[in-house]
Structure 1
């Protein structure tokens, strides 16, 4: 049976399954305590007879008696080495029942499902069985069932969602046949491991099963709530295969109390509630199935929902959200960047701080936990698996898997028992081609990051174009708009005055034009500015107004969180009033800011001449006219650079160091000085030119961020250095070859991401191998002095002004 045949069948009629195998075989003489599969092989006609009775009663799909035919269960009877033969023959018996029935009912089509169930082993971290080992156990049985030519698969009577996932993954990695999956639910409408009906549907439907539901544990009269909850969120058929009521002992035998007519009556209620595939479990006889098929007849099922819910989940809880719902925070703290204590713990394999951060972020209002363990000195993949396993037990918040390495993401998705969010998929060739299929395979959602191999989009139109390209490819691979969250890609307002507007327009476009959720990282917007929390909080309020769904942020920042709750309140979102009051009363705060008499500090700059003052004040439009005036007054071009421009940029550096000037002023002044130097350069006497040194600048391989690097280039040029800017995502070999060719004095390396910073070490090692004399300096948002010392760099600077001082010191120019 292929997926098309399955879809046609499921839409045409309510599908009838068979009834109980075990309890009916006991009636036919099977003793208690024996291996059912072995007894069936010894008494094949008993099984064939029973299954023919089910077919005569109206069954469309027979379950092959391979229920516990996996290696682990068979080992309990010493039969693990007979696994291939047993599965082959057991499927063959069901095929024989179908063959004999077809002679009597030639017009009917009956399918045989390969049946898988629990192994009895607990999955790590609760037990010792690793997910990968469990997948291999199921794969072995699946391959034998495929050899026996089953038409489809059923994974049934499951108590653990994680174990169900493992079985489904095993089947998907072996074939493309339809998969039905059913779990057992207790009276509290949860599985033994705490999974609720909606969570089971969200995880398994997105994992790729063709139908999902419940079986065993109770009669049909107790299944209505679970079926209704599943139907509410599912876009695939719902399965109901209950017991024939409750068991009790009668003359020493276990019997079930629900007669066929009563069973059929309650089953009709389940069909009306949305169950589209029905049958019986323990205690249900061919008479129960006959009463069921007679009651339901050939009626069509309640149509499936046409749209999926937008949801993430853990194993035990689902987080549903929509475009007009409450704003959510993705807690950013489980990330070693800039956290020395966390780095030290991770290197020791200690996860106490990770668990502490998880709990604190939940307590402070986070809805999702971002998990990034990228750092130097550890095996990122191994550490990611440890952290995901620990958080699976410790937290009920869904995880956002955050890594630049595809194998790390895939390893995390493979073991995560819920539905995760992946951070992120871009138009960079590697991620675009390889990561989308992986996200789809494991049923995750993903953050769409509008970047390409060319780097940041040059304008809003290019950003929208990148979003559209990724969206179309994702749809081609089976995703919908509800599986994607677009990153608004926040740039710093200090470097791009349109940064906030461009992000707002991206959010508006995604919500209103595309119907897609959005996310952003807040802190970029205020980089280089004083009192950043005010910029971040105001930006957040404006973004929520435009439709921002979630943001990656630190939920312990009370002002930021209170603004988010207040914005929801003002926008009249559901329960926003109660949430706001609860938030601010539990997190009282007083805002105190440090005051500085910046005006007096800047006032001292008024003593500079007009050209220098123009540089200090960043007067780009006036500086050329002022330079011309100075030239007409007899000033020498070289003298102007030495006595006006360089002192002016030094003064800007002083103001920047004292945090009186910030990134926007620094950029503006540097650009003003560049304009002046560009005008004067043709007039300079070549013999008077002094070459201070040659600097190679590059953002390392794999990293496409270059704002900070560009500013360093500009500042170094203004101070008279020859700077060769190799750009971003620069291969190590190109850096080394250029340094040789240009006889560079300094190699400057930049990186913004923890996952690319290790390339710096590669460059240093290659430089040593080539015996280069160039000194190597490093910088970037994730870089620290400790890291520079660790990898053997000659220097580290935290910003452009400090980089100039560092280069001068290394070249003895101070």
Structure 2
């Protein structure tokens, strides 16, 4: 199958996928804890029967049961050397079941190992893992690939890039979203849809985690930003436990199909079922939706015409030619910045992170990242900067380098849709860089410089724009992927420089090009340059300038931009201007400084008017408190909030050497800081990578303090012992590991038994260690019943430990139903629940 064939299939009527595999195999006798792929090959008749029923029910596409048949997952069962045989045989099984009446999809999912910088798995290694499986699936004869049940956008990217490099098969992608419409890693539906489409997925959507009624907003938000088909593959409602301890789902086939109405109305045209669904559910879908004519439902594309979208891993920056003006923050650039140059040479990224956060707080919409300078390995430093910057800001990045190798490395890793700065017609550059933009789904700045250098006339500049646009289209890029640089020259040397640039901007606006320019060139060599820059910017905005590369902390310049939008009546510009002016003290017109509140080290009172590092990040010399000891403590607080694993240990040592009490640092800085992080996570302003980063940073600070605390008279005793495990049959431990880290940081003695742990071992360990709490995690609905088993064993053995449960599939209602003492929705909440349980 080609992508064109798939899209043709989607045009006439909805495409029907299959339903659940795992829950149906469990019903057929597959025990918990075994390798599913190996069990299927030992019980082929079970799988053949199930998939034949799906074909009879109306499935157009069957998922081959290769879900976890990648090298990393198979290694957990000692089967990694059987990867090729397992994938080939499972595909053959599905092809036999389909009998040519349905297409067969090679099924791919997460590996369970976390990517750097959060985990230890490199992005390139993950791509190789996926390439290995995809190549076998392709050779085995699958018709299409499905990347499903994904929680990490970056892992989706790895799978798509891997597919591009070893296969021509079309790729479908579905992610699983939490109740706040974000993935576990904080990615929004819009962000996921844009990145997947830009990388070449033929359709995108959501599966698992919820029933049809709770998936509608995710589907609607995806459909509004993408032109490719949308998949909806929800569960059969919520998992329940019957009186015999078996898991079942609370929605019947007909009800399920009825609930799918809202998903179809919101844009879904590729329909199936996940956990708890059976062939009867697919038949109900087929009966209800088969006769719908898609063209009558306006679902071919709901994306607004002319909208361009850049993304980070977690959010999008959406703009059209008539939207308010945007700033591309220019400060992450060592040119002319001696201190930044020194830090980059010494592998210190403090200023880089501060610049990123400051520019976001000052109103930048995109951040330009340039590390080009002598005396460094640009590729190595660029990657380190990207690792750090993507952890401290949600803004999309503009990759600014003249080195093609650096550009490709950055685009390959960047976990979103980036902007390239820039591509021109200079000899050989476009032919190398345009394929990179296409492969990695990036937009690019079109620099209208030709083979002979900077154009001398407006006509020559326009000719370069048109030629490069035509070349971009030959590589599969469109006008919406382009932002034209107005090419600002110095008015001191060419009196018509401003006029030429303004005319270029006008031409671009009339011809549906987005535009950008660097402002500072216009005033080079003139006195009081800010006035010239500001006047030029207001004129450029009037001509239709979309964005400019500038320093967003330049008050006169940026405020003039907001005022310009207001005066030409851009949408919502009045509210934007008023909100911008709220940054100022109304009495003296000076910019107000945000405050931070946490216990003062020496007096025990509340200290105010310090920098709020969760919202703004200032250099140390901007802290309002001039006491060196207090500044040192402020810095540690900031390190926790920003996840500064590079410098927190050294900064903690510095505070101690200055005379700060180690116990006070723990109780009055680290604990309030991690509480602040938890609160931001609860509010949805921080996400899993930031939570992990902050917890890891705090861990490093505690590691330095621990020997000092042990020699102190006021050593804080352990708050209690917690035995924690992922339940038997479940090999997922991302959430469990984060809970372990958080509990240890909060002073608990944690005994981590790992994943897939026998229920009796959990209880016996708790009794032996006299644990106050047993904490259980499960990601899969098929393993939830083990939680009830643990509770039953604990009661039989008179275990006194309180039992707390959590995980992606677990609910408060389920916890109450099985008699758990507590339920936690996430790692930060688990600490609060356990604190409350044991007083």
| Shared fold (TM-score, shorter chain, > 0.5) | yes
Residues 551-609 of structure 1 deviation map (CA, whole Å, 9 limit, x = unaligned):
00111111111111111111112232232233345257989xxxxxxxxxxxxxxxxxx
Partner of 2:30: 30
Partner of 2:300: 304
Partner of 2:685: none
Partner of 2:148: 156
Picking from 421, 437, 446, the partner of 2:419 is 421
Q: Does 1:286 align with 2:279?
A: yes
**What TM-score do you get using the length of structure 2 for normalisation?**
0.68
Task: Give the distance between the partners of 2:543 and 2:8, measured in 1 at CA.
Answer: 42
SS at match of 2:464: helix
Task: Give the distance between the partners of 1:168 and 1:467, measured in 2 at CA.
Answer: 31
Q: Is the 8 A contact 1:558 1:587 kept in 2?
A: no
Task: Give the distance between the partners of 2:589 and 2:144, measured in 1 at CA.
Answer: 63
Q: Is the 8 A contact 2:138 2:169 kept in 1?
A: no
Q: Is the 8 A contact 1:233 1:308 kept in 2?
A: no
Structure 1 residue 437: Cα displacement: 0.8
Where does 1:32-47 land on structure 2 (aligned, <5 Å)? 32-47=32-47
Where does 1:347-366 land on structure 2 (aligned, <5 Å)? 347-366=345-364
Picking from 543, 548, 563, the partner of 2:545 is 548
Partner of 2:95: 95
Q: Does 1:534 align with 2:531?
A: yes
Relative distance call for 1:243 and 1:308 in structure 2 (3 A) is: farther
Task: Give the distance between the partners of 1:547 and 1:517, measured in 2 at CA.
Answer: 9
Where does 1:57-72 land on structure 2 (aligned, <5 Å)? 57-72=57-72
Partner of 1:182: 174
Picking from 207, 217, 220, the partner of 2:209 is 217
SS at match of 1:586: coil
Structure 1 residue 207: Cα displacement: 0.9
Structure 1 residue 313: Cα displacement: 0.8
Task: Give the distance between the partners of 1:524 and 1:151, measured in 2 at CA.
Answer: 54
SS at match of 1:429: coil
Structure 1 residue 230: Cα displacement: 0.9
Task: Give the distance between the partners of 2:310 and 2:65, measured in 1 at CA.
Answer: 35
Where does 1:313-324 land on structure 2 (aligned, <5 Å)? 313-324=311-322
Picking from 97, 104, 113, the partner of 1:121 is 113
Partner of 1:77: 77
Partner of 1:571: 568
Q: Is the 8 A contact 2:306 2:321 kept in 1?
A: no
Residues 360-387 of structure 1 deviation map (CA, whole Å, 9 limit, x = unaligned):
1112111111000000000001111111
Partner of 1:199: 191
Where does 1:366-405 land on structure 2 (aligned, <5 Å)? 366-405=364-403
Partner of 2:56: 56
Structure 1 residue 480: Cα displacement: 1.9
Where does 1:639-650 land on structure 2 (aligned, <5 Å)? none
Partner of 1:760: none
Task: Give the distance between the partners of 2:493 and 2:165, measured in 1 at CA.
Answer: 48
Which of the pair has more CA radius of gyration? 1
Partner of 1:258: 251
Where does 1:375-774 land on structure 2 (aligned, <5 Å)? 375-512=373-510, 514-587=511-584
Structure 1 residue 269: Cα displacement: 2.5
Q: Is the 8 A contact 2:231 2:271 kept in 1?
A: yes
SS at match of 1:182: strand
> Gaps spanning 5+ residues in structure 1: where?
103-108, 592-814
Partner of 2:135: 143
SS at match of 1:452: coil
C-alpha RMSD of the superposition: 1.3
Task: Give the distance between the partners of 2:504 and 2:492, measured in 1 at CA.
Answer: 19
Task: Give the distance between the partners of 2:149 and 2:86, measured in 1 at CA.
Answer: 21
Relative distance call for 1:308 and 1:267 in structure 2 (3 A) is: farther
Task: Give the distance between the partners of 1:379 and 1:465, measured in 2 at CA.
Answer: 37
Partner of 1:230: 222
Task: Give the distance between the partners of 1:159 and 1:442, measured in 2 at CA.
Answer: 20
Task: Give the distance between the partners of 2:582 and 2:50, measured in 1 at CA.
Answer: 66
Task: Give the distance between the partners of 1:398 and 1:455, measured in 2 at CA.
Answer: 30
Task: Give the distance between the partners of 2:151 and 2:582, measured in 1 at CA.
Answer: 41
Task: Give the distance between the partners of 1:587 and 1:539, measured in 2 at CA.
Answer: 25
Residues 85-112 of structure 1 deviation map (CA, whole Å, 9 limit, x = unaligned):
100101010011112xx5xxxxxx4100
> Gaps spanning 5+ residues in structure 2: where?
591-839
Task: Give the distance between the partners of 2:486 and 2:549, measured in 1 at CA.
Answer: 11
Structure 1 residue 330: Cα displacement: 0.5
Residues 442-479 of structure 1 deviation map (CA, whole Å, 9 limit, x = unaligned):
11110000002210012111100110011112122222
Task: Give the distance between the partners of 2:579 and 2:58, measured in 1 at CA.
Answer: 57
Moved more, 86-95 or 361-370: 361-370
Where does 1:800-811 land on structure 2 (aligned, <5 Å)? none
Picking from 340, 343, 364, the partner of 1:342 is 340
Partner of 1:134: 126
SS at match of 1:401: strand
